[in-house]
Amino acid sequence: DGGITQSPKYLFRKEGQNVTLSCEQNLNHDAMYWYRQDPGQGLRLIYYSQIVNDFQKGDIAEGYSVSREKKESFPLTVTSAQKNPTAFYLCATTAGSKNIQYFGAGTRLSVL
Amino acid sequence: QKEVEQDPGPLSVPEGAIVSLNCTYSNSAFQYFMWYRQYSRKGPELLMYTYSSGNKEDGRFTAQVDKSSKYISLFIRDSQPSDSATYLCAIMMSNYQLIWGAGTKLIIKP
């Protein structure tokens, strides 16, 4: 996982509940990303942050929120407004001038 | 039409075979081309990274880019059961955002 830690590995959400997925990195990378992965659809960008206290919406930000208060941390909250949250969530950071993305091990979110 | 097309498979081949995985893309402004490997329930890991047209080799893996046809390929020689995974192509735009293919599930049969 190269210094990118996602937790928990598995998460269950009850209807109407907000849940928060953790992503921590010790690589001193500036940029961090959240993706959602569904079977047969590849990775879709939810939010990204290139610097502390700043973040941008990706392609599917509705129903999600993020914060970037520290360089090491980029938590993702799946809100009750996200009606179809069941998916595999991946956090990534970029390194070097080529902006290659490196990923954590992912969090699998399911609905009870 | 999606910006990056990739056949989801599954692709099943016998051990030792040469594997060919492919993606097509629609935007000629795309600059960098990557292949990631993803084992079940794990995050993707970078396999190959290339910019120009032509071939780039790394051990048993060869990445090929044909910008005129907007076509990229990953070849795996002497395939092993440990190569069984999902292979994702990713293409970087000029703003450094990645556009991902759907991923091809590869199964290498012993």
pLDDT digits (tens, 9 = 90+) for B19-60: 999 999 998 777 789 999 999 989 999 999 998 888 999 999
Q: For residue B108, is pLDDT > 80?
A: yes
What are the start-end ranges of the E strands in A1-112? 4-7, 10-13, 19-25, 32-37, 43-51, 54-57, 64-66, 76-78, 87-95, 100-103, 107-111
Chain B CB within 8 Å of residue A60 CB: no
Share of chain A above pLDDT 70, in %: 98
Chain A CB within 8 Å of residue B23 CB: no
Mean pLDDT rounded to a whole number for chain A: 92
Confidence of residue A60 (pLDDT cuts 50, 70, 90): very high
B75 vs B67 pLDDT, higher one: B75
Chain A contact set for B43 (CB, 8 A):
1, 4, 6, 90, 92, 103-106
CB contact under 8 A, B92 and A99: yes
| Mean pLDDT across A63-92 | 96
Give the Cβ contact number of residue A47 at 10 Å. 21
Give phi and psi for B15, each to the nearest 5.
-55, 140
